Structure 1
Amino acid sequence: MKLPSFTKRQWLTLVVFGVADFCNAICVSLQAPFYPHEAESKGAKATEYGLVFGVFELVVFLVSPLYGQHLNRLGPKFLFNAGIFTVGTCAILFGLLDRVNEHYPFIALSFLIRIVEAMGNAAFLTASFAMIAKEFPDNVATTFASLETFFGLGLIVGPTVGGALYELGGYTTPFAIMGSILFLSAVMTAFVLPSHDQADEIAHQGTSSLLQVLRIPGVLLAAASIIVTSTSIGFLQATLEPHLRRTFNLSPVVLGVMFVVNGGTYALTAPCFGWLCDSKVRPKLVTIAGCVLIILGFSLVGPAPFLAFEPELSVVITGLVCHGLGIAAQLVASFTDALRTSIDYGFPNNLETYGLISGLWTSTFALGAFIGPSMAGILFDTVGFRHATMFVVALNALVMALVLLFVLFARRPRSFKEVSADEYLLGVSGSSDQPEFLQGVRPNGRAAAAAAPVLVAAAERPPGANGYIAASSYKNRHGMWRRRDSGTVVIGPYSASYGSLESRGFLETVA
């Protein structure tokens, strides 16, 4: 596995993102071992403090698409830093709740702080995913997976660190220390992270929406994959502990180690799946492999009712390893697949699209993380753990079948040939140095008039990652999406959406 050749700026960005992801994940997860006990001492019931945890994912699901849609207007660096500062502040405030002695004020403040913290976390994640796509256009999957490793490690370390600091200094200590560390990382990112000042892209703000992205079948399947994957994670978080405790009579320390198995496997293998998606394998094939691994994992952890053997600890561990491999494959592949597919279908290759896909990923993951524990608790109480696991198996089997059918029968979108402004000018000027595919072609008066706005847009748009010119955007009236139903002919491999080759009366060839 060859390391990508990043620039100094890219390596620095990657390090800053890694530190921020790690600290942020610790802050949002460190209260798990001791907050329920503190809440019960104030008179709260399990339903109440369970919703304190659940409302976090619900808020992330609701606000992430809004952040993604308005990323250009807010600015990715501002959104990133504001999110970290918000999470750090809320972590410190959450550590002061032990001073609230009344039952209802304690629960109300817990909800309020957790909701604001979720808004900051959603901002942080949405901006970070978009900036990854912007800074690493050729290695999106690899860098995304690497940062997911840091975030996954933070989620694993968070409860351990929180429990240790709680034993050392009481309820306030873990929140005060980790919140302050996150503040310091926010200061570092404010000075180190590059800015993305793109006034040309802001002019197109609002031309794309999440609903338009979800109309693309490939993106919709990627979103479904994220939901079922995060559902499986939340399912085990809610029910694995009572299942193992009642079946094997394990100590709390061993139970904690069992939770590290799938999370650690995910953190260690995510970069490998990112590398595969970037260089070797279609992301949807990786998604299918992820579904198979999760189905296998849940069938062993139960074990499934159709398997004729009783639960064994070694089999459970094997199942958790398979689950960790499956969630790594699906989460990494889904982000890469959604981004590439949306661009292939005509969305501009710019920060606006990156923000939309980032918001989609964050929102759908949160939706699954909300559904998973909710359904797990109901099914665990009604049918038991072994039969309850079939819910996750069925969901993944359905997504796997749909993705497999899509891979076998869906038609891939037509590839675009990027034509620069200089090539176009050479082509319409009749110069002998014009590109080969434009030689002998000149527009008449109507073609020149129709092409004028396209020429302006192409001339003003910078090269590089923004190479998809304005005429290729989803809603542009000159674009392929609008012309597909108008009878416009596409000549050769060059799309009419670029304004370089017109048809039906718009071109005259030189005899």
Structure 2
Amino acid sequence: MDATKSSLLPKPKEGLKKKFVISAMIVSNFIAWSCLSLMAPFFPIEAKMKGLGETVIGLIYSSSELVIFLMSPLMGRLISTVSPRFFYITGILVIGVTGILFGVLDKSPPYVPFTATCFAVRMTQATGVASLISASFMIASQNYPENIGTIYGILETAVGLGFMAGPAMGGGLYQLGGYGLPFWVLGGCTFACGLASWILLPAKQRTQECSATDDKDQSVWTIFTSPWVWFGSCTNICAYGAGLIWMPVLSLHLKQFHLSQVAIGLMYTIPPGMYAITTPLWGYLIDWKIPPPVLILTGLILLSILCLVFGPAPFLPLQNDMVTCVVTLVLMGLCMGPVIVSSIKCMVEGARNLGFDANGANFGVVGGVVQSSVCLGTLVSPLLGGSLTERFGFAWMMVAGAIIALIPIILFGPFLAYVAYDKCKSKAAKKNYDTLNGEVTVDNDIVMTALK
């Protein structure tokens, strides 16, 4: 092998370093999101004993999503002034410390003091999550710029598995050792993961790309000049809004089948489990040039149909049985994967078209906007699900979910049609140009022919 070709090959140490960084991010995201979600099975019980009502308990849960929604773009911008490594490690450490602190809140006086401390600790923890996810997105984009779909799919798998494992581990540890044990164990593991990342991760993550003094230092608002970013954000919000609208009322809906609490808990794990398992596959397929808009449109249409079946919609001649519920939840999880990963790809490409790839620091803004759209969807969907079910019932609530899933198609259908028409027109023009210049393509070889 000559020197020219060998110089083009990646250095073995560089490849190992990238794999180690991504592996550390996978483990960190899994543990961090497990710590964030572990309180679901038992916290309402403890909160009730402290005098809190269902509305306040719901607000404590949703406050984390609101903080992540508001802080993610800011974190993405601040990364450009320091480094993604700093925000990544700081985010993990904050999640771990606040997780441990949550384990002593049962010693707080009831009513207002308990409520105030819960909000304070939960919102601080959410700030750490915003820091972690924005830095993770940027580090992934720097290390694997050509395979961002695959890498993001793998990270989403870690997040989904963390959300699944967190409640299960939290419930088991709570039954084993009471209120504090789940927070102390998972919070301690998260903090230890942050310390390990501090010691083992490379001290410099392309610092030349993290400087705020680069030529192209994009504004947070610049990214919203791209229609693809708006399309991806709207898709994220509506997909999560439709795909999770049933979460706050599913247990009430399943009571008619006389299931145990364990069985009802397992039903909640079906969609995130299917989503977590399949997202790497969808990311791989998208990186292999399957058009993201095609997957988005197909997934949203199927998701809308599944919402109608899950109700079932009052105007459909369908039976409400257990088999339908299970199958529908499985298919919902499968549909969410291509829609979410494809929407991220659209937002990334829209940002690159604006020049965000010229400065790696600016790419943190993309991660912040991505996570903000995700959190807005997960924040709105439970609120809509609870209020609509209370007013109109479960079946009509799912009809609303079906409509929400179609909103991106309705709003951006003309834009996507224009893009498809323009692309076809460009291909036809190129073909005519090649023909006029005497170029004929045969088996991927270009053969010059004389004009007659």
Q: After the TM superposition, which residues 223-262 of structure 1 pair with which residues of structure 2 at under 5 Å, given as runs?
A: 223-245=233-255, 247-262=256-271
Question: How far is the alpha carbon of 1:408 from its aligned partner?
Answer: 2.3
Instruction: Report whether the alignment pairs 1:220 with 2:230.
Output: yes
CA distance in 2, matches of 1:306, 1:91: 46
Q: 1:289 is matched with which residue? A: 298
The superposition leaves residues 300-331 of structure 1 with CA deviations (integer Å, 9 ceiling, x where unpaired) of 22112232122111111121112101211121
Q: Which stretch of the first structure deviates more once superposed, 363-372 or 395-404?
A: 395-404
Q: C-alpha separation between the residues in 1 aligned to 2:41 and 2:210?
A: 48
Q: Could you tell me how far 1:403 is from its partner in structure 2? A: 4.4
Q: CA deviation at 1:111?
A: 0.4
Maintained 8 Å contact 1:296/1:322: no
Q: Which position in structure 2 is the counterpart of 1:364?
A: 373
Which amino acid is 2:32 matched to? N
In the TM superposition, residue 402 of structure 1 has moved relative to its aligned partner by 4.0
Task: For 1:362, give the aligned amino acid.
Answer: Q
Measured after TM superposition, the shift of residue 233 of structure 1 is: 4.3
Matched, 1:380 2:407: no
The answer as to whether partners of 2:76 and 2:365 remain within 8 angstroms in 1 is yes
- Secondary structure of the residue aligned to 1:138 is coil
CA distance in 2, matches of 1:396, 1:302: 15
Report what 1:427 is aligned to. none
Match of 2:19 in 1: 11
Q: What TM-score, normalized by structure 1, do the two folds share?
A: 0.77
Cα distance between partner residues in 2 of 1:236 and 1:320: 10
Deviation at 1:168?
0.3
Structure of greater relative contact order (alpha carbons < 8 Å, 6+ residues apart)? 2
Q: Give the drift of 1:192.
A: 2.8
Q: Secondary structure at the match of 2:316?
A: coil
* 3-state SS in 2 of match to 1:65: helix
Aligned position for 1:466: none
Count of equivalent residues: 408
Gaps of 5+ in 1: 416-511
| SS of equivalent residue, structure 2 residue 245 | helix
2:447 alignment partner in structure 1: none
TM-score after normalising by structure 2 = 0.86
Deviation at 1:201, TM superposition (A): 4.0
Assess if the C-alpha contact under 8 Å between 2:83 and 2:210 holds in 1. no
Q: Distance in 2 between matches of 1:38 and 1:68?
A: 35
How far apart, CA to CA, are the structure 1 residues paired with 2:242 and 2:194?
A: 32
CA contact (8 A) 1:296 1:319 kept: no
In the other structure, the counterpart of 2:100 is 92
1:212-236 Cα deviation digits (max 9, x unpaired): 2112111100000111122234422
Task: Give the secondary-structure state (helix, strand or coil) at the position aligned to 1:243.
Answer: helix
Query: 2:67 and 2:402 mapped to 1: Cα distance?
Result: 27
Letter in 1 for 2:314: P
1:208 aligns with 2:218: yes
1:270 maps to what in 2?
279
Identity among equivalent pairs (%):
31
In structure 1, distance between residues paired with 2:150 and 2:361: 21
- 1:414-471 CA distances to partner (integer Å, 9 max, x unpaired)? x9xxxxxxxxxxxxxxxxxxxxxxxxxxxxxxxxxxxxxxxxxxxxxxxxxxxxxxxx
Cα distance in 2 for partners of 1:232, 1:52 equals: 22
Q: Deviations over 1:246-293 (max 9, x none)?
A: x32211111111111111110111011101110131122221122123
Report the Cα offset of residue 144 of structure 1.
0.7
Q: Are 1:182 and 2:190 an aligned pair? A: yes
| 2:30 maps to amino acid | F
Q: Is 2:74 the counterpart of 1:73?
A: no
Match of 2:36 in 1: 28
CA contact (8 A) 1:291 1:397 kept: yes
Q: Is 1:128 aligned to 2:136, yes or no?
A: yes
Distance in structure 2 (CA, Å) of the matches to 1:25 and 1:255: 21
Name 1:350's counterpart in structure 2: 359
Counting only pairs closer than 5 Å after superposition, residues 453-472 of structure 1 correspond to structure 2 as none
- Runs of 5+ unmatched residues, structure 2: 1-11, 427-452
Matching residue's letter, 1:372? S
- Please point out which of 288, 294, 302 is paired with 2:311: 302
Whole-angstrom CA distance in 2 between matches of 1:301 and 1:199: 48
Deviation at 1:206, TM superposition (A): 8.3
2:251 partner letter: E
